Amino acid sequence: MSLQLLKGKVAIVTGASRGLGEGITRAFGGEGAVVAMFSRDMKRLQKHVADLKALGQKAEAFPVDVADVEQVNRAVAQVVRQFGRVDILVNNAAIAPSTPFVDMPDEVRDSVFAVNIKGVWNCTKAVMPLMIKQRYGKVINISSVTGPMVSGRGMTAYAASKGAVSAFTRTLALEVAEHGINVNAICPGSFDTPMFRSVAKPRGWDSEDEYVQHVGRGIPLSRLGTIEEMGDLAVFLASDKSKYITGVEIVIDGGNIIQEHKG
């Protein structure tokens, strides 16, 4: 058996019930971490936990709306009571409605900001005193290429929120480096997830599969990313293999961002 890179570590992953969060939790569990999974979708989350436990992995489900600071604080306190510490936080929970700027209701904008940036703030604020006290921690914020680097029609709120996540990552990394804490961001491109598929119809596609294939053909590696590939990168940043890396954004997009002309 190969050495498990996260053996004995306690990790919190938000938005853990599906998509990128599911890939990250599988990878963490496979590398020996105890995974505390936060999500609003408890039915799906409990099934995911059962699947991981059937593989001999250690995982627990916590019903959490990351936009609700009280829910976050209670859940983090429960994780600490149950497992004694928090070594890793992955801020993955996000929503991405696709609506033209002039048509976007304020309540939709506010819901995006509440989950995508306030949720990151709430969860990080809850765990950071613990990490500072133990002089160790890994914070991984799932940002995006959309916002910090590129964008797309209908994505104003999402892009603005992810730009904020990237800026938050850099500044926090400076503040906590002296405590032995690494803070980094992953900027995914197009991954085959329920969130990605959800924008197919708003962009005029009747078939989600056809939309996925169309986008994939325009990427240099000729396909969308998989949740397993996201898990691999998250494991690296969560492990001590990345202990001299902090405050950076790592793009994982099959080479798409380097193209001058796409498609």
Burial 193-227 (b: 16+ CB within 10 A, else e): beebeebbeeeebeebeebbeebbeebeeeebbeb
Q: In whole angstroms, give the CA distance from residue 212 to residue 195.
A: 12
The strands making up 249-252's β-sheet, listed across from edge to edge, are 58-63, 34-39, 10-14, 88-91, 137-142, 181-188, 249-252
Q: In whole angstroms, give the CA distance from residue 248 to residue 117.
A: 18
3-state secondary structure at position 216: helix
Q: CA dihedral in degrees (242, 96, 50, 226; nearest 10)?
A: -60
Active-site hit among 136, 158, 211, 244: 158
Q: In whole angstroms, give the CA distance from residue 77 to residue 105.
A: 35
Q: How many CB atoms lie within 10 A of CB 97?
A: 17
Total number of residues shown for the chain: 263
Which residue from 1, 3, 75, 5 is spatially nearest to 37, judged by alpha carbons?
Answer: 75
Q: Which amino acid is at 203?
A: R
The neighbouring-strand residues paired with 90 are: 13, 140
| Catalytic residue list contains 211 | no
- Which residues are known to be catalytic? 158
